[in-house]
Amino acid sequence: MKTLEVLRTALATAVLLTSFGALAHEAGASQEKITVLQDQALLNAPGKKAMMLTVDYLPGQASAAHRHQGTAMAYVLEGEITSQVKGGPAITYKAGQSWYEPAGSEHLVSKNASNSKPAKLLVFMFMDEKDAVLTPLNP
């Protein structure tokens, strides 16, 4: 009888821990991973800077709609990325393809086109030194 009670308690604890682990994973996985590789002031353009960064997406992951104050150029390193800038169609880019976003563009869709494979972007940005990399459209 005591053994049955211990087994029930152990099983209930395992179920609870697994549930909390899944919630923590979902919360942590809801945002893409942005890694700044370079952040340099432009000597020939006072008050401006250039940035180089990577954006890693898990399978099926998407960015929140956002705006870049500066100009952005993106290159797909791995996988496939679907991107849509306001006023244009959603386009899926494959590894080796790139696109341009004018300063101030509203980036409505940026997501991993695959639900089974990761995707990675290399992004170059040119912007005011005080500007953030991105500003959410719906904070």
**What is the per-residue pLDDT for 30?**
66
pLDDT of residue 139: 63
pLDDT range class, residue 12, cuts 50, 70, 90: very low
Residue type, 40: Q
Question: What does R_g of the chain's alpha carbons equal in angstroms?
Answer: 21
Q: Which helix (H) or strand (E) holds 36?
A: strand 33-41
**95 vs 78: CA distance, rounded Å:** 5
**Among all chains, which residue has been given the structure tokens 């211990």?**
6
Is 21 strand, coil or helix? helix
Percent of the chain with pLDDT over 70: 78
48 vs 29: CA distance, rounded Å? 32
- pTM of this structure: 0.75
Q: What is the mean pLDDT of the chain?
A: 82
Residues 52-55: contacts with CB within 8 Å, 24+ apart? 52/122, 52/123, 52/124, 52/125, 53/122, 53/123, 53/125, 53/133, 54/120, 54/121, 54/122, 54/123, 55/110, 55/120, 55/121, 55/123
What are the pLDDT digits (tens) for 25-83? 343 456 899 999 999 999 999 999 999 999 999 999 999 999 989 999 999 999 999 99
